[in-house]
A = this chain, B = another copy of it.
Amino acid sequence: MPDITRTGTAKTETTTFREVMAEIVQRITEGPWGPGTLLPGEVELAEAFGCSRTTMNRALREVSELGFLDRKRKAGTRVRMAPIRQARFEMPVVRAEIEKTGAVYGYQLVSSAVVVAPEWLRLRMGLKARAHVVHLLCLHFADGVAFQLEDRWINAGALPQALQQDFTESGPNEWLVATVPFSEVEISFLAQAADAGMVAHLDHALGDPVFCVERATWWQNAAVTLVTLAHRRGYRMTTRY
């Protein structure tokens, strides 16, 4: 039966790769494809699902990116024994994070100074001896309550404009992402004991555990900035999936 234009009628009866994905995920999580199962080949599956191999390939690839499948040439597609658990945090600018909760964002510059980089900073960022840095302390408020204390160092060698820039009205982060948008970044999450600065500006007692995010960024192998974001009491960073 030589095929005639499949284009004839309207409504897609084609199986979309999203439908295929959903079905595959369901078969893995609830259905017959338990951990360790070796799936049939793409060609066979495509036939069974009534779609082209291209579509099946895309579906399998994306399910695999979700962490459920392990694919290898020749070896085939296998359901992982345990799915890869991945926590993915989008790190918006503080302003966006606060405004998303419906709160009013507030900003205040606490202190600003140009200093010679201290030893630990030089080692951490790979700065030259006697390199000058801009050191800023800033506060971010949610509905008038201190939400985050930003302790930032900017390498004046790499970004001399930072020396002239005025940070009293808006934070250095917004200026930096506009100035050096595509930098290499290293992010760390850690717990720190509250120091004097955090006690003074956040709702902490000296030595309290503080959840901190540290972000170091480089641009073309030159250190740009190092920032530690200290959060208010009880802050937790959460993701669900």
Chain A positions within 8 Å of B, measured between CB atoms, are 28-30, 34-35, 68, 81-93, 177-178, 181-182, 184-193, 207-212, 214, 235-241
Contact = CB atoms under 8 A, between A and B. Distances in A.
Contact of A207 (B35, B207, B214): B207
Contact of A185 (B81, B212, B241): B241
Contact of A209 (B34, B91, B178, B191): B191
Given A89-B86, A193-B208, A35 B181 contact: yes
A28 B82 contact: no
Given A84-B90, A87-B89, A88-B88, A185 B235 contact: no
A177 B29 CA distance: 13
Given A28-B182, A181-B81, A181-B82, A187 B87 contact: yes
B188 A191 contact: no
B237 A82 contact: no
A68 B187 CA distance: 18
